[in-house]
Structure 1
Amino acid sequence: MRLGQITARQRQILLLLMSRTEGMTAAEIAAEIGVSVRTVHREMEEIEKGLQGADVLLHKKSGTGIRLEGETPEGIAQLRKRLLEGKPADYSVEERKILMLCALLEADEPIKLFALAHSLKVTVPTVSSDLDELEPLMKRFKLNLIRRRGYGVELEGTEAVRRRAICRLAEEYLDYSDLVGDGYSDAREPVTARLLSMVGKPVLLDVEKSLWDMNWSWTESLSESAYTSMLIALSVSVKRIRQGRRMEEADIATQDGASSSMEEARDFAVRLGETLEIPFTDSEMKYISNLFEAARDMSEVSELAHTDVEMVEMAHRLIERVQRRTGIPFQEDRTLRAGLVEHIGAAMKRIREGTRIRNPLLSPIRKDYEELFGIVRHSVDELRLGLTIPDEEIGFLVMHFGASSERLNQLGHHLKAILVCSSGLSSSRLLGTRLNKEMPQIEVLGNVSWYEAARMPKEQYDLIISTIDLPLPKDRYVRLSPLLTADDKEALLQYIQSTSVKPGGSGTAVNRIEEQRKAASFERLRLQAALMNAIVSLLDGFHVHDLDNRPDDLEGTLNEALAKVYECGAVSDAEKVKERLLERERMGTQLIPDTTLALFHTRSRYIACPSLTLFRLAHAAPLEDGAEAGVILLMLAPKQLPKESLEVLSEISAMLLGSELIELMERGGEDEIRSYLAEELQHFFNHRP
């Protein structure tokens, strides 16, 4: 094959076919690389011509798809090597636009159009057209595109804005495995290579180590996405400082609460500066303190996802429809409901913001769960959400349902494993349930982030199973696909046999496993006690108040309600909590459909303990979209919330989908409501898996 004439897309198709030895249909290829089926067929014609004399045959068969086959044992391997070593004749449209944006973000002066065209191997008119399409994205990043004849093109924006744009691109186009793995080739993924360079990948783990060495409790409580976003932003800052692009005081907005982080930012900057031998100015330290506060806020943005009635109701309707079509009792699976509520909330945010959605498992999901994929797609379309839900998101939902269907037949366990996945809870749960079903000797303890896996004491687990490369020695973990293919199972068995942890072993390993079983029994009792304590504590603190509020004044109504909660000691800063509640209401009314009850909920570090309080209003309070509330249920929880408390709050929010509790909330007495909640939560406790 003449590699000098192969395009980036053709190279992408060939590498994809090499990874799918069983073959792929043109539709699967199109879905995987984001083009039309017609484009795939057109590219295949060119690929077939180019493969002549390459000792590789292209087989096309209706029904089974397209696959590559080597005429000699070395044929495929040699072709792969030549593809990875060679440079494509051009970039894909998406690659070209992102590379162009990267060049403009890094430039200190205007770039001539012909220089951009030459570097991207296209014509000047093509560059102009790409810039037209990129301009809305640049405006979203708060960057101005300046284009003048004879002057060139450049981006106008502060250093803070440029850094945020680089971080946003990195978060949208890089996977966790790109950031922390080590098996990466520049020639294979030009966009990934450029973004990793802009992020400063070589120093990212140094930044992370310095951050971890600070021993701050708040970093451990951050969500994985918030923690990783903060790491990327800190690493970008280091890279920009080394390039001489420093933050100016005027560029930094004062963020609410940032002053409390300033001392931490100074301590961290001193430690990191000594490690990397770079100085941090006061402006840079102020910027770091803002990053710390942003990470805290990002972790809180999820609010009480499991208690968001809109999300719970959406998950309930979806489960109901899929169950009706499959006959599988999905409604009985609380883990499925919790996973869907969490995923749907994040997915809706991504779709509404226009964030690029990637699902690297879409093609195998379509193949392994073909019927279920169609059922979930049809069920989602029936919900009429008013949004276009891409197949990538449907694929994630299918993984939740696939995991649930396989969770019904779990067997006993002998080894303990922790999972690290880059695609979120859906992929980890699918892999976990497949392991439980097909390799019952392995007990999955749970899903952890890549930075947690690197620090967990070895005594707490037998195996680390990851779907991404980790910053650990290769003998510390085994990498598998979330779909657990036959090759994956073989690799896992070989890994187990090559380590000191072996099923049915003798001596210390067996003794340790027996000790772990006994410890697990005690741990289960402890968790049950914690769950019951959470139920009793929440019900003990439940109260109903009649509120003589002013008409047409939601803010004043919340002030009065929170004053009652403040008196009980459940809230430390009522003003901060009120602002968060109002912000959530502005995103969409919290009124439960066809009722007068609104569920106002939030999770914040300004809340001392979980609380549930009902307020019956003298005057209806105005909500978003012209709605009005006659009753407000205030559900509050601290930022660091035990899993057991979250489960209880989630269960109560699910009860609000039933008419009986709604009627009690609107008209029943305090003791009557508490008794109903107690009975339902007792049932939940007794039947919890």
Structure 2
Amino acid sequence: MYISARERAILTLLVGQEKALPIRDIAKELEVSTRTIQRDLKGIENILEKFQLSLQKEGSTLSIKGEVERQGDVMSYIGGLEHEEFTPEERQVVLLSYLLRAVEPVKLYTLANELHVTVATVSTDLQKAEKWLEAFSLQIVRKRGYGVEVVGDEWIIRTALKKLISENLSEDYFYHLLSRDDIEPPTIVQVALSRLFYYVDVQIIKDVKQVIDEWRQAIERGIVDSSYVSLIIHVTLAVERIKANERMQLSRTQLEKMQEEQEYGLAENLASKLSKVLEMDIPEEEIGYFAMHIHALKWVGQKDEVLYGSDLILAVQVKSLIEMIASKYHLHFDDQQLYKGLFAHMKPALYRIEHKMKIHNPLLAKIKEAYQELFDEVTKAVMTVFKGIAIPEEEIGFIVMHFGSAIELRRMKVNIRALVICSSGIGSSKLLASRLKKEFTEITELHHASLFDLREEQIEQYDLVISTGPIPGRKDYIYVRPYLDNQEVKEIRTWLDEYIHKQKNLLHEFSKQQKELVQRHELSLFERLHDVNQDVLTILHHFEARQLASYTMEENLTSICVAYVKKGALHAAADVVTALLARENSGGLAIPGTHLALFHTRHKDIKVPIFSVYELEEGMYRKGMDDQPTFVKRVLLLLAPEEMEEHRLLFISSISASIIENDASIHLYEYGQEAEIKAYLVNQFKQYLQEMSSEG
């Protein structure tokens, strides 16, 4: 049981006293405020309860009620507590945690007692803490007779706390902390870690986890492990800060803008569930803060769906980034996985950077050590492509992992079905998988799984299971670090040799099972190909490229949509036109550097997918995707039903991506005739169906 320095001091004053002590006298003795003493009383009550004692509060006085022998036990326990000897690094964790959580100035002697060092040592440690806090634009204020406190915006303080936890808390330990009630910190490092979490009730962490699990099941979207842990820590810190009356401040303008985004609805739903479980009110500003974090999450299977409003500029930037690295290393990245992975990472990454949301990359040092040259080249390429945006090393580290994975995948040879369970996120999982395939040519298939969402049936499908974290209740797996060392390579090699020898007599049955799996997969593929092929035929049937009269944009869009109603492609025109104009107002639809504007939306009144090109008789300035006025000569219209399966949405999104695929495609859409554009579309659709068929 951990008892803080101030709790020890309060108990020492109260134990054995025949008369109740005024709270103001206790505060005066300890040189803190009465409010500080009041906040410590819950902890005191919990400690006394373990000794079958109670804290008696009468007015503004305190006393301990219970047997004298039991009070003696309390003093014996306190006297027998070991004063842990922290390393300088561990002291920094405890010191920063203490200062960031404090809601009023802390005396130097209190910090000295907490760390079991002299006041002079604390003063030296504070200088190091100041440097760490400078990265967050936070300041340490020190005044004689006043104490020490961290000064800065509440959201930055929370960001710093989250960073501190992420830097010192492994996901494996966090996983076990949430899964077991009997976990005990085994080393002095974990003692420091327990101090980091001391002010957070572990039960609250578990309650928050339970709510988040129910919430994400309801929205039917998987969150990658790193984002999942980040969200739990983020929400837990918010709950504790709200309870301490340290609340977020968002301007009405910021809040109203956030409320227009779909993430705010998800945040409201999460806040509602939290309110019921924790029996507390969550202010609007905090819901907005939740929404900002949800927006920056990484989702399992995150796709590049331009139809949802993804920035076409970002698509161009990601392709430029890939081309620069490919040129530097004389490579050709001919698969879409690298593009999709980078786009899925950069979209929330840029949002995090815009809102000054810090991200933690636990593998950054290892990445720089193993891929220093690639790291340097990616850094230069990122600075060139994303001019004016200060992208931190943590984000660049993740980008390097994507490129490193793609480069190593080009050289892999393969022979056994294996499952990689990696708790550090999809990037490190891919990198580990690539290295495994490079080292062991026997591996035929290698898949990834989440430690948090792992199901028993998942494991049983594979011959070999490799994990970077402990799997409770299982022994038949190989435990490795994200970066394999020589001993781990030998262990896997021994296992493979033994397994191949044992499995020779079972190859026939294995082939039979594989054949059944392939047959089921092919059936699903044919169904998806059929759906997409129907959409291809529909789009080509309705496609047109014609000139519009000199009307306003709203009048032109109305005229187009009314025509599609008559053709049976739309139920009604008015609401679709309203949705198109609302989309333009919210973000701009003109493509910078071109004379094109892509008007797109999904709506319940749209029956079938539509794509057409319209030339304005007289060009006009429209709001660009970069918020700058752009002179538009042609309008591209892309419409889709509100309800569409994912494979159909991906196809529709490919049309948007094809517009800015290269200079030739942009020129075609700007100046091409109907027959030329339609021929181009036919070729693009044919290629898409071929790739879809080959990828399965």
TM interval, shorter chain, is 0.5 to 0.7
Q: Tell me what 1:53 maps to.
A: none
Q: Tell me what 1:107 maps to.
A: 102
Q: Tell me what 2:486 maps to.
A: 486
Which aligned pairs between 1:120-519 and structure 2 lie closer than 5 A? 122=121, 124=123, 127=126, 134=133, 137=136, 150-153=145-148, 166=161, 170=165, 176-181=171-176, 187-188=188-189, 193-197=194-198, 200=201, 204-205=205-206, 207-209=208-210, 211-212=212-213, 216-221=217-222, 227-236=228-237, 245=244, 273=277, 280-281=279-280, 283-284=281-282, 297-298=295-296, 304=304, 308-330=311-333, 332-351=334-353, 355-356=357-358, 358-366=360-368, 368-369=370-371, 372-373=374-375, 375-377=377-379, 379-380=381-382, 383=385, 385-387=387-389, 392-425=394-427, 427-444=428-445, 446-454=447-455, 457-467=458-468, 469=469, 472-475=472-475, 477-493=477-493, 505=503, 511-512=509-510, 514-519=512-517
Change (3 A) 1:127 1:590: farther
Q: Tell me what 1:628 maps to.
A: 630
Whole-Å Cα distance in 2 between the matches of residues 289 and 132 of structure 1?
A: 31
Asked if structure 1 preserves the Cα contact closer than 8 Å seen for 2:459 and 2:465, the reply is: no
Q: Deviations along 1:375-407, whole A, 9 cap, x unmatched?
A: 545544554734455555554444333322332
Change (3 A) 1:318 1:248: closer
Question: Which one is further off, 102-111 or 351-360?
Answer: 351-360
Q: Tell me what 1:29 maps to.
A: none
Deviation at 1:676, TM superposition (A): 1.6
Whole-Å Cα distance in 1 between the matches of residues 657 and 89 of structure 2?
A: 49
Whole-Å Cα distance in 2 between the matches of residues 492 and 136 of structure 1?
A: 42
Change (3 A) 1:418 1:569: farther
Q: Does 1:680 align with 2:684?
A: yes
Change (3 A) 1:127 1:349: same
SS in 1 for 2:188: coil
Whole-Å Cα distance in 1 between the matches of residues 577 and 144 of structure 2?
A: 56
SS in 2 for 1:473: coil
Asked if structure 1 preserves the Cα contact closer than 8 Å seen for 2:304 and 2:344, the reply is: no
Change (3 A) 1:651 1:344: farther
What one-letter code is carried by the residue in structure 2 that aligns with 1:540? T
Asked if structure 2 preserves the Cα contact closer than 8 Å seen for 1:262 and 1:289, the reply is: yes
What one-letter code is carried by the residue in structure 2 that aligns with 1:596? H
Asked if structure 1 preserves the Cα contact closer than 8 Å seen for 2:303 and 2:340, the reply is: no
SS in 1 for 2:621: strand
Q: Tell me what 2:596 maps to.
A: 597
Q: Deviations along 1:283-302, whole A, 9 cap, x unmatched?
A: 25989987886676556998
Which aligned pairs between 1:498-647 and structure 2 lie closer than 5 A? 505=503, 511-512=509-510, 514-524=512-522, 526-527=524-525, 529-530=527-528, 533-534=531-532, 536-537=534-535, 540-541=538-539, 568=570, 582-585=585-588, 591-593=591-593, 595-599=594-598, 616=615, 619-623=620-624, 624=626, 626-630=628-632, 631-633=634-636, 642=646, 645-646=649-650
Deviation at 1:601, TM superposition (A): 7.0
Whole-Å Cα distance in 2 between the matches of residues 161 and 570 of structure 1?
A: 48
Whole-Å Cα distance in 1 between the matches of residues 95 and 579 of structure 2?
A: 42
Change (3 A) 1:611 1:442: farther
Deviation at 1:422, TM superposition (A): 1.4
Deviation at 1:653, TM superposition (A): 1.1
**Structure of larger gyration radius:** 2
Whole-Å Cα distance in 1 between the matches of residues 515 and 672 of structure 2?
A: 46
Alignment TM-score, normalising by the size of structure 2: 0.63
Q: Tell me what 1:662 maps to.
A: 666
Whole-Å Cα distance in 2 between the matches of residues 203 and 497 of structure 1?
A: 47
What one-letter code is carried by the residue in structure 1 that aligns with 2:661? L
Change (3 A) 1:289 1:151: closer
Q: Deviations along 1:20-55, whole A, 9 cap, x unmatched?
A: xxxxxxxxxxxxxxxxxxxxxxxxxxxxxxxxxxxx
Deviation at 1:218, TM superposition (A): 0.5
Asked if structure 2 preserves the Cα contact closer than 8 Å seen for 1:416 and 1:445, the reply is: yes
Deviation at 1:548, TM superposition (A): 7.1
Question: Which one is further off, 393-402 or 112-121?
Answer: 112-121
SS in 2 for 1:657: coil
Change (3 A) 1:464 1:353: farther
Asked if structure 2 preserves the Cα contact closer than 8 Å seen for 1:351 and 1:389, the reply is: yes
Change (3 A) 1:324 1:212: closer
Asked if structure 2 preserves the Cα contact closer than 8 Å seen for 1:200 and 1:238, the reply is: no
Deviation at 1:662, TM superposition (A): 1.8
Asked if structure 2 preserves the Cα contact closer than 8 Å seen for 1:322 and 1:376, the reply is: yes
Q: Tell me what 1:653 maps to.
A: 657
Which aligned pairs between 1:24-103 and structure 2 lie closer than 5 A? 87-88=85-86, 90-91=88-89, 96=92, 102-103=97-98
- How many residues align structurally? 577
Change (3 A) 1:409 1:109: closer
SS in 2 for 1:447: strand
Change (3 A) 1:197 1:293: same
Q: Deviations along 1:67-96, whole A, 9 cap, x unmatched?
A: xxxxxxxxxxxxxxxxxx98455348xx84
Asked if structure 2 preserves the Cα contact closer than 8 Å seen for 1:613 and 1:634, the reply is: yes
SS in 1 for 2:503: coil
Asked if structure 1 preserves the Cα contact closer than 8 Å seen for 2:296 and 2:348, the reply is: no
Q: Deviations along 1:346-390, whole A, 9 cap, x unmatched?
A: 444455555555544445545544554555455445547344555
Asked if structure 1 preserves the Cα contact closer than 8 Å seen for 2:159 and 2:358, the reply is: no
Q: Deviations along 1:641-677, whole A, 9 cap, x unmatched?
A: 6256436625751551323322332244566534422
Asked if structure 2 preserves the Cα contact closer than 8 Å seen for 1:362 and 1:392, the reply is: yes
Whole-Å Cα distance in 1 between the matches of residues 471 and 605 of structure 2?
A: 35
Asked if structure 1 preserves the Cα contact closer than 8 Å seen for 2:602 and 2:639, the reply is: yes
Asked if structure 2 preserves the Cα contact closer than 8 Å seen for 1:261 and 1:293, the reply is: yes
SS in 2 for 1:465: strand
SS in 1 for 2:437: helix
Change (3 A) 1:582 1:149: farther
SS in 2 for 1:404: helix
Question: Which one is further off, 504-513 or 613-622?
Answer: 504-513
Change (3 A) 1:408 1:195: same
Q: Deviations along 1:158-211, whole A, 9 cap, x unmatched?
A: 999977775576467755445325697663378755444455556645643465
Change (3 A) 1:449 1:260: closer
Change (3 A) 1:135 1:288: closer
Q: Tell me what 2:20 maps to.
A: none
Deviation at 1:216, TM superposition (A): 4.0
Change (3 A) 1:303 1:437: closer
Q: Tell me what 2:43 maps to.
A: none
Gaps of 5+ in 2: 1-82, 178-182
Asked if structure 1 preserves the Cα contact closer than 8 Å seen for 2:318 and 2:343, the reply is: yes
Asked if structure 1 preserves the Cα contact closer than 8 Å seen for 2:375 and 2:400, the reply is: yes
SS in 1 for 2:337: helix
Whole-Å Cα distance in 1 between the matches of residues 674 and 557 of structure 2?
A: 20
Whole-Å Cα distance in 2 between the matches of residues 399 and 134 of structure 1?
A: 28
SS in 2 for 1:533: helix
What one-letter code is carried by the residue in structure 1 that aligns with 2:528? A
- RMSD value, Cα: 5.6
Whole-Å Cα distance in 2 between the matches of residues 605 and 578 of structure 1?
A: 16
Alignment TM-score, normalising by the size of structure 1: 0.64
The share of aligned pairs that are identical, in percent, is 24
